[in-house]
Amino acid sequence: MKKDSQATNGLGEFTQLSEFTQLAEFAQLSEFAQLDRHRKERIGIAEAVYAPGKTPQQCAEIVSTLVTDGSPGPVLLSRPDEFQTAAALEACPGGEVRERLIFWNPLPALSDVPVSEQIVLQNIDATTAGTTTSSGQNSQPENPSHAQKIIIATAGTGDLPPARECQAVLEAYGIGADIICDIGVAGIHRTLGVADKFYNASAVVVVAGMEGALASVIGGLTPAPVIAVPSSVGYGSSLEGVTALLAMLSSCAPGIVVVGIDNGFGAACAVLRLIQTKLSPANSPPADSPPRSNSMRPPSLSISAT
């Protein structure tokens, strides 16, 4: 590769490849951690602190260092227990506590960012009625061509923990996501009743256990990227998520991305990578370009919730 070739991570641009590779500084923290200070600049996603296996004191020291050093992007503590949570919040007050996650220094919501600085997603529809954002409010973007619409769908209520983990990570990065819960294939009329929401989404995260069929169904209903999360929910031969994982990997719906079992964090990171690279400002359509044609939109279904 030529030295003067351009590299970009979707959030910023580097005129020289050497500028990109220089972002390799790390901080030695005692004898138990080396903090990757520039991961956010390199890949658009800051280093997260995975709590399991660490002592409460280690979690507190790592988080405190990241927050006080002014590391770019949010600081995330993933899957802490009650003792790790208490230690981290005592060392660094002000963290936002969510299911399986605590975060500090969240990025501003895209609705608060000037349109000229937003990442443009191309397959947006203005309709967001009937869904709830992570802040509990319905949001109608003023300009639907400068917004994103992320849907997180769960097959059952038992799949909510990974879904909420995914939603919380996206929230920390200023990305709103709507959860549509309990629409598994055992009552497939529930899935079809919200098919328009999937068709109009920018990306869909599907969390399902048991046989994991919901990911394939939604993969056949939307042109949006589908990120499948096998969950450990299920009886007997569900094998704590292995059956759903293999089914999703074997899906006949082309192009589905599959992450690890119960990995809501990984699903959120996949969404962030899609937003920041595939649809970065350098690849955005002109401001006066026409909206996507709806000529291929599926007909409205006469199924409604009661």
Mark whether 120 and 228 lie in a shared domain.
yes
Domain that holds residue 50: 7-104
* Per-residue pLDDT reduced to its tens digit, 68-95: 876 667 999 999 999 999 999 999 999 9
Q: Which amino acid is at 14?
A: F
Average pLDDT over residues 198-210: 95
What is the per-residue pLDDT for 260?
97
**Confidence tier at 227 by pLDDT (50, 70, 90):** very high
Q: Do 147 and 266 have their domain in common?
A: yes
* Structure-derived torsion over alpha carbons of residues 248, 250, 255, 257, reported in degrees to the nearest 10: 40
pLDDT tens, 129-160? 344 444 444 444 443 333 579 999 999 999 99
The answer on pLDDT for 300 being more than 70 is no
Q: Number of structural domains, the chain?
A: 2
Q: Is residue 140 part of a domain?
A: yes
- Do residues 86 and 114 share a domain? no
Residues in the chain: 306
Q: Assess whether 264 and 239 both reside in one domain.
A: yes
In the listed set 76, 104, 132, which residue is the last one of a domain according to the structure?
A: 104
Whether residues 81 and 34 fall in one domain: yes
Residue 58 predicted with pLDDT over 80: yes
* 3-state SS, one letter per residue, for 2-35: CCCCCEECCCCEECCHHHHHCCCCEEEECCCEEE
CATH number, residue 185: 3.40.50.1970
